[in-house]
Amino acid sequence: MKDMVIKSKSETNPLYGSIPEDRPIKEYISKGIINLDKPSGPTSHEIDSWVKRILNCEKSGHGGTLDPKVTGVLPIGIDNATKSIQLLLTAPKEYVCLMRLHDDVPEGKIRKVFKEFTGKIFQTPPVKSAVKRELRAREIYYSTIYEIEGRDVLFKIGCEAGTYVRTYCHNIGEVLAVGAHMAELRRTRVGSFSEKSNLSTLQDLTDSYHFYLEDNDESFLRDCIVPMERAADHLPKIIIRDSAVDAICHGADLAAGGIVSLSENIKKNDLITIFTLKGELVASGISLFDSEDILSADSGIMINTNRVFMATGIYPMLWK
């Protein structure tokens, strides 16, 4: 993993756990995420239900709801991965949007206003939203105009989680004094899940599962599904020694002695993820210290565990 610094040396026992990519196929599926290309029409919850039927699994859940008419990247967690998919709710998002202005505006003015709508902006969520309607700040990382044709503006936007592109278009229309609305929207990225990485349709998933059942060929399923660990790609990480894993799985907080390496950019109160030496996602938690303080600590609790993703008993109980 890049940008990691070593705190102590440790080796992992091959008898316990597994490198995520090497999990047996049934475990691989139950701890997997599908980078699904959502079609226009169905709700995100309907997509969940269809995936559950296709794979004959017990649970499925999506990371970041898309409106029925919106297409694009919709990560779907399967069975045990439905917990980890929640980590994507805080991940940065990217969209390609077609905005329609309600009157003619000079191209130069449009481009000038778009530049003003980057960096920190303020939004009030739309009436039809699942959150409280109050003014809040959101970061727009970039906003690139692809094409302007008449009153239609095609652009790409990279933004903080919780940004409403519909509201973004409406607010630009207000500043331009002509009004505007979102005509079409496609999500192209959620965290590290993008159009260019293992994007699969429902038909791809169906075909892959049939190849597995009928021909015992699991290669296509492994192309459609990625390990649940990918949901944490955008978050700071801490790697722990084997002897600390089961304690964390039982909900214990992470002490300094259990840490092998960590991301160099951790800040106090950051949400961080905890991994085994084999790269398995164990839990998430809130950091009580900066990276520098964690590196120099010989004892004490460093991370307050807030969510556990790995089952108990996979690693030996060495903490009593």
Catalytic residue among 22, 48, 67, 290: 67
Among 195, 270, 184, which Cα is nearest to 232's?
270
Q: Is 67 noted as a catalytic residue in this protein?
A: yes
User: How far, CA to CA in Å, does 171 sit from each of 119, 129, 272?
Assistant: 15, 17, 34
- Helix 165-175 / helix 107-116 crossing angle, nearest 10 deg: 120
Crossing angle between the packed helical segments 44-55 and 202-215, to the nearest 10 degrees: 10
Kindly list the catalytic residues. Answer: 67
